[in-house]
Amino acid sequence: MEIDKKGILLVLLIYLIVGIIAFLLIYFGYSRIGLLCPVIAPVISYFAYQHRQHKRIENSR
C-alpha cells in the first residue's frame, strides 16, 4: 500500500490554517466560534482527503 504524502500534507495544512484562524478568533474575543474550530478541522480534512482520493482514482483510469 502506497503512502499518499500529498494527501497527508493537505490534511496537515488544513489543520494548521484552521488552528491559526482559531487562535486569532480566540485572541480577538470570539471564543465561542474559535472553540468550534477543532471540531470543524477534522470534517474539512476528511472531505478534502476524500475528494483528493476520488480525483486520484479517476486519473488512474
Calpha distance 44→12 (Å, rounded):
11
pLDDT of residue 45: 86
Residues of the chain with pLDDT > 70, as a percent, come to: 98
- DSSP E strand boundaries for 1-61: none
Distance of CA 36 to the CA centre of its chain: 14
**Each residue's pLDDT tens digit, 27-47:** 888 888 888 888 888 888 888
Quote the pTM value: 0.73
Domain assignment of residue 44, given as a range: 5-60
pLDDT of residue 1: 57
Calpha distance 40→33 (Å, rounded):
10
| C-alpha cell, 40 | 470543524
Q: Number of folded domains in the chain?
A: 1
Cβ count near 14 (within 10 Å): 19
